[in-house]
Chain A
């Protein structure tokens, strides 16, 4: 019997998802053994043209990481959707935009202007800004058009499953791989479309070992301002921690290492907007019922949008700033 075909692709991403896959260590040899790896640009030598030549639905599973922010990203997302039976948004960029979607707080023109005209190390007297098409003495050369708005994979094509995390943790990846192999080997049914894989339906707080005393606070403090108690909930010590608004599955690694959660596993089950969820969680620790006092305490959070939507801006109800 022919092996099931697996594709792994990155769009606008940092490469960390691919590294996380490698962090399954020797299990990667099992993956290479069980699957026919038909496309994995970081590891294999297949090209877009090879994918285009494949029959529709001939790839059993595609793990797609990276956000969609250029014509090229969009084109490949459509191509892989067409060729794949199951398309999985792998990691935070593909599923919710991740940190690169903080670019949606500004716009493409402002980015180009800063990078090519204003940055302090520039030597650009000609005020050159890169263009999709450039005439050179020998002919014309091109680069893809960048989009003004960073989008998630489910915003541009139909997606079957989500694997959250920045990056998905390697133990979770290994577990998902084992499940997929079990399903394919033993003809088991697929999970319902839209299922979030490699995570739980609880929040990071449920995995966190820090003690919660339902203590109220009168101001928020920044992570560098105090040496926090290692055993007590960071939020109750006044440090904004996205644990209550974040799906668990990561093992609460950051909070265990003394740093607040920033939400990289995305919104919990049945939550539409991670930032809105966080704001309601903050309300529960604020020691006041007076609207003015509440507003004052909230105003001690620097950069609310960049904190509450650090990883999920593209997927949020805000999506982008209107400039």
Chain B
């Protein structure tokens, strides 16, 4: 038995680690994916005033603080039994779509893009955002930077700060939007929609026009037939901020559709001794280990999951892309047949990017966002609340209990990437099984293809950074488990 340790993998906050055991004949024996970090937010939330949670939990993740801010605000609304004014609702969703437009752009171009735009076998030194810029041109690179900046500006206008927004509080929002700010938001929305069209073109020209990439997306190496989870609106369209949680089975049939407050009936978390990160699974199906299929409670929570559980997108360009996505990958544009190819998650992310850009423009034009009525101080207290949003990397649940003074007595969080912990473990194992075989030399390309298996999830462990360039440093050391002697070492460098 040989041992292969991949440590550190980065571009996920807190240094993920992969431990592969390889039989003497070169076949994979087992694979462990480990998250070596725990910060204990749920514990130190106890004793804090619940209205502060929206400003505390942002620090779980500086990449998706907006997701925690919103999930927390929704949970705190519920704790106080508060119904927020319509204008506040619109401001929150507008902020949230602006955030998606920024975040999905960063991931698609800076992190995933290098694998497709530069190619999976490009020299590691070129496989990053600078390599992308070299391939698509400095102007296109600046377009990406400008698009990210637009989304950050939407967050700043509505949320007060680009990173760690502050304005959502129980009962509504604290900052009014001026007419001038609305004009700026409309202009941002218009530019975003143009960028969305540019991104559709990039998908066409760079990915779909290249048969090798399409084959790679569809290959079994990266496929997983699991359940999927995502928020949907009343028409079962994808919604990031609000709605019911829908879970569909590997064939696309509805497993359940629940109100966020009922999440404990449907979700549970498994613990392994070797990783600080828990493994959510479907409670009614049960934990059957790291296996896929209809009898295993493992599910995925990602852009691809959201498309799979929904019946479409709520804006026209995105809907057209949704149909083209399913038509291309399953031959059925209705989306009734789910896509399980992990790498298709990147394309799904572009479909969502298009939706978020269209939504920003549509919502920015709504004059109600400049209303003065954005906050109704809540009266009374319920003492318990659940808030669910879709973080870019998956379904996000905040659940608080408080005493009669609104001081937190218990907090439970099921965070975006955590949902995918089991699926990521399986994807890594699947990729490793397909790539590490008898007599196979481990090359840079091998390492990168293992990375690609989980890069698709845009991993965000305890708040990952997936922000600038495209490399996930990986170190693979093959050593003899008997005497510890290093047999082979390979490393990716930029």
Contact = CB atoms under 8 A, between A and B. Distances in A.
Interface of A: 10, 12-20, 22-23, 25-26, 28, 32, 40-50, 69-70, 72, 98-100, 102-103, 105-106, 108, 110-112, 114-116, 119-124, 126, 128-131, 134, 136-139, 141, 143-144, 146, 166-167, 169-170, 222-227, 253-254, 256-259, 262, 264, 302-303, 306-307, 310
Given A123-B269, A138-B1, A258-B175, A166 B170 contact: no
A121 B170 CA distance: 25
A115 B42 contact: yes
Contacts of B44: 102-103, 105-106, 111
A206 B30 CA distance: 60
A222 B51 CA distance: 8
Contact of B145 (A25, A44, A114): A25
B375 interface: yes
B128 interface: yes
B466 to A, nearest CB: 8
B36 A139 contact: no
Given A116-B278, A223-B51, 16 more contacts: A15-B467, A16-B164, A19-B465, A26-B145, A45-B124, A46-B493, A100-B59, A103-B39, A103-B40, A106-B43, A130-B272, A222-B51, A253-B160, A302-B406, A303-B47, A303-B52
A224 B274 contact: no
21 contacts: A14-B13, A15-B13, A22-B106, A26-B142, A26-B145, A43-B128, A45-B128, A47-B491, A100-B39, A100-B41, A111-B40, A115-B40, A120-B412, A121-B268, A124-B270, A129-B271, A138-B481, A141-B32, A141-B274, A256-B160, A259-B169
B412 A119 contact: yes
A100 B414 CA distance: 18
B70 interface: no
B125 to A, nearest CB: 8
Contacts, number: 289
Nearest to A102: B44
A121 B268 CA distance: 5
A43 B21 CA distance: 29
B257 interface: no
Nearest to A139: B481
A54 to B, nearest CB: 13
B175 A144 contact: no
B194 interface: no
A282 B468 CA distance: 43
A43 B469 CA distance: 4
B394 interface: no
B378 A224 contact: yes
A120 B263 CA distance: 11
Residue in B15, B21, B481 with the greatest tally of chain A CB atoms within 10 Å: B15
B166 A254 contact: yes
Contacts of B449: none
Residue in B21, B35, B80 with the greatest tally of chain A CB atoms within 10 Å: B21
B122 interface: no
Contacts of A307: 49, 52
B160 A224 contact: no
Overall SS of chain A's interface = loop
B274 A136 contact: yes
Given A121-B269, A130-B271, A257-B174, A42 B10 contact: yes
Contacts of A257: 159-161, 166-167, 174-175
B145 A224 contact: no
A127 to B, nearest CB: 9
A104 to B, nearest CB: 8
B3 interface: yes
Contact of B275 (A130, A224, A303): A130
Contacts of A14: 13, 58-63, 65, 462-463
The interface size bin for chain B is 35 or more
Contacts of A70: 36-37
Nearest to B405: A302
Residue in B62, B464, B467 with the greatest tally of chain A CB atoms within 10 Å: B62
A129 B271 CA distance: 7
Contact of A302 (B14, B19, B49, B142): B49
B280 interface: yes
B463 A15 contact: yes
Interface in B445-494: 462-469, 471-473, 475, 481, 491-494
A44 B55 contact: no
A15 B464 contact: yes
Nearest to B149: A25
B287 interface: yes
Interface string B302-322: 000000000000000000000
B63 A19 contact: yes
B207 interface: no
A170 B167 CA distance: 19
B422 to A, nearest CB: 13
B492 A128 contact: no
A253 B161 contact: yes
A42 B465 contact: yes
A96 B76 CA distance: 28
A107 B444 CA distance: 42
B467 A18 contact: yes
Nearest to A17: B62
Contact of B271 (A72, A108, A116): A116
Contacts of A42: 10-11, 465-468
A115 B242 CA distance: 27
Contacts of B42: 114-115, 119
A225 B171 CA distance: 10
A47 B475 CA distance: 8
Contact of A10 (B13, B34, B268, B271): B13
Contacts of A141: 19, 32, 34, 274
Contact of B269 (A48, A122, A303): A122
B439 interface: no
Closest 7 CB pairs of A and B: A16-B62, A257-B160, A258-B174, A45-B471, A45-B494, A111-B40, A15-B465
B264 A167 contact: no
B162 interface: yes
Contacts of B166: 253-254, 257, 259
Interface in B21-41: 21, 29-30, 32, 34-41
B288 interface: no
Contact of B49 (A15, A19, A303): A303
B291 interface: no
Contact of A303 (B37, B48, B170): B48
A16 B63 CA distance: 6
Given A110-B43, A138-B481, A253-B161, A44 B469 contact: yes
